[in-house]
Structure 1
Amino acid sequence: MTPSPPQDLLKYLPDHRVLVCMQCRYAIQPNAVARHLKEIHHIHRGDRRPFVEYAGQFDLADPAKVVYPDLTQFPVPVLPVENGVACRFAGCGHLCVTVKRMKQHWMTVHRMSARDGIDWRNVQVQTFFRGNALKYFTGERSEEVQPEKGCSRRDFAPVTLNFSPASPDGPLAEIEQRLIEKYHLDSLDSELLRHYLRHTSQTIDPRPETQTAFQTAVPKIAYNFHFLLQGMLSCAAMHLAQITPSRGAFSYRATAAKHHDAALPTFRHAMLTISSHNCNAVMAFSFFMMIYTLSRADDADSLLLIRESTTTTTIAAWMEVLRTRCNLLDSCWENIICGPIGPLASLWRHNDQKTVVSPTDPLLCKLLSIRNCSASFHPWNESDTKLYNNAAVELTRAISLASRMGHTLTIWDALGTWPLNLADGFFDLLLAMHPGALILLAQYGTLLASVQTLWFFNGHAGKLLDRVRSLVDPRWEKFLQADYMHS
């Protein structure tokens, strides 16, 4: 079916600097026009171009800078009008569409129970945006009530996050309510937040101190960094997609992608302006980005530390996250270690525990002997040989560390050893499908296989080994046999 003309689907409101989808009846965020056309209206790439070009001619405001209508401009003609409720606390005027949300608002912000028929009133409301940018407005003047006699205004002023230490449900419920209220989360995102706090946060790493950091410290930081909350919600959605495949896994994965993509622009800006103020948020989001990219690795190529597409071959997204983010955070590492998510810092710094590798180490000798087998049919040049030798030493060191750690080894320990210590040139060997580089990668896969029980990595090591076997010349097959790999 041929799409309708752009002006029939998209309507620009110059007074407010928003572009409204006339079918969905809400405004599209400036950086989401193409994605909206693709994911909501299923318009093919070639057919989307006129719509994107049409949208590009307008001065669109970010949600935070939209010009909201005054009382005389309400209702905005192209937007639906909903029945809502308005807070009557003096100086507040908060709007939502359910009494339940209003009661949560009073408990969270004003620190008291709302009185039915007194502390809120029914109003008509509209919103330009949905999802994470939802913000209601009305055309009715505010009506205020003062706190009950004997209570000062200061007693009920909005509060900052100052949670008690982690304990079962109480503090978690408080964290949940405050984040829901601040970011106006809808029912689905509230469900994801609840799942993250009570379940997903406990599955990222088995150590109690890191579980506590993910469960309580990270959400507190998210109160001031929206992109971090979006990372939490994306992680929770992928977790639900993994553990409840019969309950709409595709829908959860789509929701995870939505939050992940929405967080990236702000996250990238934070990386460019890294400081003691935002370093903890950047660090925490990097974990969620890793989990997201690993958990959606359905194709084996993304497990090869590289990623192939129709036009190019690059380092895999999860590997780029691991290597780049660590380097960017170096300038603030002391702040992170001494801060609220200090336990998370240790998950990426086991590679600092250098050990001397003996030239006679049996594994290293076996790995170095492989290069001698290539002389007759695949000679290696001096540069490739040097890169291979250094990578073999680092892999021997990583496997030695894993052996010493035994059952305490986790996926973060494994990811934080060999890949972080590889030279950039080694990735060029992988991009070229160099047999030596692939064999080392397969050997590394045997290390990953021992720690792949976490939901976001389960089964990946086996896929990695199978993919390497499909890529190497049959003459290298003996170096990938199980008895060789584990001898």
Structure 2
Amino acid sequence: MPITFGPDDLLEYDAINRVLICLACRYAIQKAALGSHLLRHKVYRGERQRMLSAISRLELAEPDQVQLPPANGSPVRGLPILAGFRCAADGCERLCASLKRMRRHWSESHGVSDPVEPFCCAVSLQTFFRGTKLRYFEVASPGAGDQSPSASGDDSVNGVGQEHRLDLGDVATSTDQTPRLPQQPPSFPFNLDLEMLKYFYHFTTATSLTLPSQHDDPAKHWQTNAVAQALDLHWLMCGLLAISASHLASLSNTATAKRAHQQRSSQFFGEFHTGWNLAKSDSGTAAKTGAQIVCVRRCCYYAFLDSPATDRSTALIARPFELPSFMATVQGCADPEFALRLETSDTADNTLEQTISRFTRNESTVTETSQLTGTAPPEMLERLRTLPYRMAAALQKPDSARDYFEVLCAINALAECWSMSYAADDAATTWLAMQSWLARLSDRFMQMLSRGNPATLIVLAYWSPLVERAERHSWFLRGLAARLHGHVVRELPDDSAVKSLVEDLKA
């Protein structure tokens, strides 16, 4: 009888392999990430603490300590079975999830750029963990219908258990291979050519797994709900394809391929924006998803992933890189309600500045997330602790006691978010920590920031390392932490004592 925990037997303990598997997400959860993972599934304080207390009595191995099962053993319950390949070279046990990655293995490890078949054999694979801790192991092959393609497509590890860092560059669909599509594809209400199908396939198998959402399962929001809506709405489908093309542009190794994906992204986004402009007034689910797409696209623009602002489609959403606008755009990537209010503010009674100063506050979520703690760098926590004293020495006296209080509250919240970010090094936790600080800021703090108040700018600079931690897992944020920090430095008074307060801020 398996040992299970949580509502609907959410977690199952595998005593043989010493791992705890989330049956909803279908992968093992690291000990350090248990709290944040349960929160994603809306398991709140009382029940979560009871579960964590019970789980603490179990023997759980760290990812690099898990002994991989022997080859051709029975599949591990709760994990998906993936179609993959094993190298056929004598004495080599390399496992890959795609032929493309296997060919690269032959080139890199065996010095053969064009191996002669049979250079590998088809096998069934599983992995306990994802991301940087992904390690495949071979299992007995079930019926063909039970296998599913790998979500990441091209990641591989050595069969004897070497760790392998997830290489996002391998996710890109090569131009000489056509994705394997279902034998009976759905009947679309509009025409999709082969190129569009390639982008659609990439979105469903890769891009959708990289996007944030306040939904308890972000992948379900983008991979299932958004796709289901897009199959009925041409403009929304074009929005998903635009994000998919931008993702492929970020993964491309050549300028030619990057430029081609950027151009297609711009074309798709132009079609999307025309339809979304007509639909956004109804405030429906599709309109909110569309607003999230706009926010992700604007982050791509800020990160210089897309064509210049002179491009027609980019110009539709281009705004100067101003601090409140950037912060609101980040919030809108995950929060559809906020995203729609942000993107319709120009036509509403509120001004854009009023809208972006009102971040969505979910007090229960703020309270719950504050319980997630990790081991943040002690030197950074010490810098935050002493920051009010150092600012008092370098800056002029605050305009009012209330202004001083708002800055102190923002610093205290930031210290909590720093600890939260180090609870686990994964996309969900780092994004939650980064966004949580925004949700705690008061209207007055945002108004002070909009006026260029030096104290608020300095505090914002200490948020940039949290953006840096999040961008390691979110391709559309890459480079934005450095850009944010540089923007803050330029906005600060030209005073070496003031600017020294924000030097050497690293995650």
Structure with bigger gyration radius? 1
Instruction: Give TM-score, length-normalised by structure 1.
Output: 0.49
